[in-house]
Amino acid sequence: MRGITCARWVAVAAAVVLGATGCGGGGNGGGGGGGAVLTASWGDPQNPLEPANTNEVQGGKVLDMIFRGLKKYNPKTAAAENMLAQSIDSDDSQNFTIKVKSGWTFSNGEKITAASFVDAWNYGASLKNNQKNAYFFGYIDGYDKVHPDSGAQTAETLSGLKVVDDLTFTVRLNQKFSGFPDTLGYAAFAPLPRSFFTDHAAWLKKPVGNGPYTIESYTRGAQMYLKKWDGYPGADKARNGGVTLTVYTDNNTAYTDLLAGNLDLVDDIPAAQLKNVKSDLGNRYINTPAGIIQTIAFPFYDKAWNQPGSEKVRTGLSKAINRKQITETIFLGTRTPATDWTSPVLGTAGGYKAGLCGTACDYDPAQAKKLIEEGGGIPGGQVKITYNADTGSHKEWVDAVCNSINNALDNDKACVGNPVGTFADFRNQIGQEKLTGPFRAGWQMDYPLIQDFLQPLYYTGASSNDGKWSNKEFDTLVNRANAEGDPAKANALFQQAEGVLRDNMAAIPLWYQNGSAGYSQRLSDVELNPFSVPVYNEIKVSG
């Protein structure tokens, strides 16, 4: 071993290099026939790509491309329109008869029947399948048997679902819910082919659906190439040859890639780049409302925040926040000050009512100070707003909100931010009711219904009622609204329920969040849907 020289050392290193090259490589997502392919930014989906198991935007993007359900939400108006549904009828808002259009198939050629839906929903609801969206099936009769809160499940399938014939099935709900048909555009209600059940592992490697795209290749954690499905029977065919989704760890890199012409579409403009985005992209930057509202929630399980007069303190805090200034200076117009508890994407027809919050959401420092004093002052003398510091630049706005409150109350120590290291830990502390002060709450709608902005968040014992707020009047109004068959009347009742939220200031509405995206010169007709996901099938690619 004594004679080794520098030259040999290098030779050894070179051999290692060559060896390592051999390990690399993989599928190449190149272009196919029938129109040009665009490249778009993506994030690694947190869960396996099953429809009833995907609860975040990144996995949702893919499902949006490869699945079509009974209903589809209009990308512009957010209205639920029939897609695979021929008709959804009900006399009593509780028993529904659903007819499926004939002529639809999955991209593997399999016919879509009533059973494709019923089997998929039964799979999604069943506790043993660990589907994180299982609660979406909670309105269907028999859910408590297949998905009990504790203990083992006593049934395999939902008793409320019955296949009548090849293309018809019936749904029985466990309560009246007139908005139920409009929830069916959510990805969790998508139909599934037989191969999903017979060869689950293979299906997960390369999911098969019935949407305008088919998955051509999928390298987990890195890239997915979706090709236009030429045989797609729907009206919303893809107007491009395909989409290559590339995973980016850091959206700053994606933005840099867009500027360098290495990427066509970025659907999340990093906060640090908002200042330059207009000069960088000009009119190739879009900033449109999305169904997301940010609020500050309160711990109603804590006596200090839940006693007579507390509502004055909460309203006072709401009036001490200068929403306009914060959205303009920190978010540079990518957020809009909130004046109700829903979202403008619903439209007035969908129940959105601008200004419903009234003066309780207006910035008025003098009045704020007075209200808080009348209400007995801030519990413990200081508001601690808890937030997770790992994502979403929450620190900036929490500090700004506190600053605004401190200025209004002439007290430097009236409000401080309380950062929690990770999102999981943040959720943990909320779940275990450890927080003794207000905390950040964000809500992204599951389906564009006013009900989705109110019931899951403020109904007694609801799944996302993290502050444990409870109010009989509110609950009654929501129940009445759900039983109401006429959408206009139902919306009026929901708005009345919102009035209860306002009078008690159950949560402080802060602002509506916009979706933002930037694209290259090759693309045209780029839009974001109300879920802030690009409408990929409408995008045209030149060259």
Partner 1 sequence: MGRYIVRRLLQMIPVFIGATLLIFLMVNVMGDPVAGLCGDRACDPATAAQLKREFGLDMPVWQQYVTYMGNLFTGDFGTAFNGEPVIDLMASAFPVTIRLTVVAILFEIVVGITLGVLTGTRRGKPVDTVVLVLTLIVISVPVFVTGLVLQLLFGVEWHWVEPSVSAEANFGELILPGLVLASVSLAYVTRLTRTSIAENRRSDYVRTAVAKGLPRRRVVTRHLLRNSLIPVVTFIGTDIGALMGGAIVTERIFNIHGVGYQLYQGIVRQNTQTVVGFVTVLVLVFLVANLIVDLLYAVLDPRIRYA
Distance CA 532, CA 541 (A): 20
Nearest CB to partner 1, comparing residues 278 and 434? 434
Q: What are phi and psi of 423, to 5 degrees?
A: -60, -40
Size of the site for partner 1 (CB under 8 A): 73
Q: Should residue 175 be labelled a site residue for partner 1 when binding is judged by CB under 8 A?
A: no
Alpha helices per DSSP H over 360-512: 365-374, 394-409, 423-431, 450-458, 472-483, 487-504
Distance CA 143, CA 165 (A): 23
Among 102, 422, 476, 521, binds partner 1 (CB under 8 A): 422
Among 68, 71, 99, 147, binds partner 1 (CB under 8 A): 147
Report yes or no: 257 and 482 within 8 Å, Cβ to Cβ.
no
Q: Should residue 444 be labelled a site residue for partner 1 when binding is judged by CB under 8 A?
A: yes
Cα dihedral sign, 404-407-412-415: negative
In the complex, least distance from residue 480 CB atom to partner 1, rounded to whole angstroms: 25
- Bridge partners, 229 (sequence order): none
Residues 56-95 that bind partner 1 (CB under 8 A): 56
Residues 242-301 that bind partner 1 (CB under 8 A): 246-250, 253-254, 256-257, 259-260, 262-263
Six token digits for residue 199? 């060869």
Q: Should residue 26 be labelled a site residue for partner 1 when binding is judged by CB under 8 A?
A: yes
In the complex, least distance from residue 101 CB atom to partner 1, rounded to whole angstroms: 32
Six token digits for residue 175? 């309560």
Which part of the chain contacts partner 1 (CB under 8 A), choosing from 23-31, 155-163, 173-181, 399-407?
Answer: 23-31
In the complex, least distance from residue 463 CB atom to partner 1, rounded to whole angstroms: 6
Q: Should residue 366 be labelled a site residue for partner 1 when binding is judged by CB under 8 A?
A: no
Among 13, 164, 272, 349, binds partner 1 (CB under 8 A): 13
Nearest CB to partner 1, comparing residues 86 and 262? 262
Residue with tokens 């060869």: 199
Among 34, 46, 102, 164, binds partner 1 (CB under 8 A): 46
Residue with tokens 């009445």: 480
Nearest CB to partner 1, comparing residues 358 and 421? 421
Nearest CB to partner 1, comparing residues 7 and 366? 7
In the complex, least distance from residue 135 CB atom to partner 1, rounded to whole angstroms: 5
Residues 423-442 that bind partner 1 (CB under 8 A): 423-425, 427-428, 430-431, 441-442
- Least Cα distance to 109 among 258, 233, 5 occurs for 233
Distance CA 540, CA 543 (A): 10
Q: Reduce the DSSP state of residue 297 to 3 states and report it.
A: strand
Report yes or no: 217 and 236 within 8 Å, Cβ to Cβ.
no
Which part of the chain contacts partner 1 (CB under 8 A), choosing from 38-46, 181-189, 337-345, 535-543?
Answer: 38-46
Six token digits for residue 394? 């929450």
Q: Should residue 221 be labelled a site residue for partner 1 when binding is judged by CB under 8 A?
A: yes
Among 108, 460, 463, 476, binds partner 1 (CB under 8 A): 463
Q: Reduce the DSSP state of residue 289 to 3 states and report it.
A: strand
Among 110, 141, 373, 390, binds partner 1 (CB under 8 A): 390
Among 86, 102, 108, 148, binds partner 1 (CB under 8 A): 148
Q: Reduce the DSSP state of residue 521 to 3 states and report it.
A: coil
Nearest CB to partner 1, comparing residues 246 and 496? 246
Containing 164, the helix (H) or strand (E) segment is strand 161-165
Report yes or no: 516 and 284 within 8 Å, Cβ to Cβ.
no
Q: Give whole-number Cα distances, 242 to 50, 92, 263, 265, 301, in Å.
A: 21, 44, 14, 13, 51
Among 94, 131, 334, 491, binds partner 1 (CB under 8 A): 131
In the complex, least distance from residue 258 CB atom to partner 1, rounded to whole angstroms: 10
Residues 193-212 that bind partner 1 (CB under 8 A): 204
In the complex, least distance from residue 195 CB atom to partner 1, rounded to whole angstroms: 17
Which part of the chain contacts partner 1 (CB under 8 A), choosing from 40-48, 105-113, 358-366, 373-381?
Answer: 40-48
Residues 497-516 that bind partner 1 (CB under 8 A): none
Residues 6+ apart with CB under 8 A from 225: 27, 29, 37, 215, 216, 217, 218, 242, 243, 244, 245
Report yes or no: 345 and 291 within 8 Å, Cβ to Cβ.
yes
Q: Should residue 16 be labelled a site residue for partner 1 when binding is judged by CB under 8 A?
A: yes
Q: Should residue 9 be labelled a site residue for partner 1 when binding is judged by CB under 8 A?
A: yes
Q: Should residue 461 be labelled a site residue for partner 1 when binding is judged by CB under 8 A?
A: no
Nearest CB to partner 1, comparing residues 330 and 389? 389
CB count within 10 Å of CB 258 equals 25
Which part of the chain contacts partner 1 (CB under 8 A), choosing from 41-49, 104-112, 337-345, 490-498?
Answer: 41-49
Among 30, 282, 355, 421, binds partner 1 (CB under 8 A): 421
Distance CA 276, CA 338 (A): 26
Report yes or no: 471 and 284 within 8 Å, Cβ to Cβ.
no
Nearest CB to partner 1, comparing residues 32 and 487? 32
Report yes or no: 190 and 493 within 8 Å, Cβ to Cβ.
no
Nearest CB to partner 1, comparing residues 47 and 74? 47
